[in-house]
Amino acid sequence: MTMPITLKDIAIHPVVEQEGAWFDVMKFFPTLTRELLDDNRSWLMPTLVDPANNCLVICVQSFVIKTPHHNILIDACVGNHKPRPARPFWNMLNSDRFENGLAALGLTVNDIDYVMCTHLHTDHVGWNTRLDNGRWVPTFANAKYIMADRELEHWTAREKENPSSVPWITDSVLPIVEAKRAEIVKSDFAFSDTVQLLPTPGHTIDHFSVLVGGAGEDALITGDMIHSPLQGKYPELGMMADYDSAQAGKTRRTVFERFCDQPTIMCLSHFPMPSTARVRRWGDGYKFVALGG
């Protein structure tokens, strides 16, 4: 259990669903060469790449932002009872870890006021819905779900064309729209004075990150604009599920250049625990330094 991040009267807490080494690092980053991996082994292993199977160590987590007015959940992990035949390690999960994580913060699913979906991939929308008498209904019964307009359009069209290729849209996104719980916004939407969406496109068509707090005391919840510190050192390194890897690389350079001289805390959704760091220049790229380090 890591400490929350406190920014004046706002707290950010991780809620972890899983951590594991499931994806072969060479497949995960299709343009990664054996030579480049070998050059970086000393700092990647064993924490970031598992030497036993050469797989990237990945955390699947949400973040809860507690403001004086709202409880906001950023992303919703893989979820329970979801058929994911293409991803055996995420198929038909039945785990109480996510809800226990909320309970540890004194929260139930009914206490979440907003769910913000940084993007609509399977490991970010799962807890959006739960099974109720054979139907998928909103898990967070009192919440509005914030989604970017072009992101939702893109995935809705994909689902219409070939539903079996995107089962998570069918069971975890469209039921939210049908229940009229979706609040569809631009990816630069200002939610409040202290919670602001930041467009970070490339990994998906209209991906956003979430900037929390005020000048000099803030944090950026990245979502999937980055998956591994290796993409800090080499910002142009694309990952296998990118919509547009070139654009994702530009996004990483723009964001890291903006924050690398700032005290801004990065909450790096897929990095192994503690998943929080500051970004600093490192040669032609960027590194992530421990808080307090």
Which one of 64-72, 74-82, 217-225, 254-262 is the stretch in contact with Zn ion (CB under 5 A)? 217-225
x-marked contacts with Zn ion along 164-193 as a string, rule CB under 5 A: ------------------------------
Structure tokens given for 166 = 């995107």
- DSSP character for 161? H
Q: Which is nearer to Zn ion, 203 or 278 (CB)?
A: 203
Q: Which is nearer to Zn ion, 18 or 194 (CB)?
A: 18
Q: Which is nearer to Zn ion, 159 or 224 (CB)?
A: 224
Which one of 23-31, 208-216, 224-232, 284-292 is the stretch in contact with Zn ion (CB under 5 A)? 224-232
- For residue 20, the minimal CB distance to Zn ion (Å) is 13
**Count of residues binding Zn ion (CB under 5 A)?**
2
DSSP, collapsed to helix, strand or coil, labels residue 191 as: coil
- For residue 90, the minimal CB distance to Zn ion (Å) is 11
Cα separation of 28 and 47, whole Å? 17
- For residue 38, the minimal CB distance to Zn ion (Å) is 26
Q: Give residue 160's identity as a one-letter amino acid code.
A: K
- φ, ψ for residue 173, nearest 5 deg: -120, -55
What residues contact residue 222 under an 8 Å CB cut-off, 6+ apart? 200, 209, 255, 266, 267, 268, 269
Q: Which is nearer to Zn ion, 194 or 228 (CB)?
A: 228
- For residue 136, the minimal CB distance to Zn ion (Å) is 20
| Residue-by-residue DSSP string for 118-132 | SS--HHHHGGGEEEE
Q: Which is nearer to Zn ion, 7 or 64 (CB)?
A: 64
- For residue 58, the minimal CB distance to Zn ion (Å) is 8
| 224 is a contact residue toward Zn ion (CB under 5 A) | yes
Q: Which is nearer to Zn ion, 7 or 239 (CB)?
A: 239
Distance from the Cα of residue 198 to its chain's centroid = 13
Cα separation of 83 and 250, whole Å? 34
- For residue 163, the minimal CB distance to Zn ion (Å) is 21
Cα separation of 287 and 233, whole Å? 6
What residues contact residue 63 under an 8 Å CB cut-off, 6+ apart? 12, 13, 14, 15, 73, 74, 75, 221, 267, 269
| 123 is a contact residue toward Zn ion (CB under 5 A) | yes
- For residue 161, the minimal CB distance to Zn ion (Å) is 22
What residues contact residue 267 under an 8 Å CB cut-off, 6+ apart? 5, 12, 14, 63, 219, 220, 221, 222, 275, 276
Which one of 108-116, 119-127, 137-145, 185-193 is the stretch in contact with Zn ion (CB under 5 A)? 119-127
| 17 is a contact residue toward Zn ion (CB under 5 A) | no
Binding interface with Zn ion (CB under 5 A):
123, 224
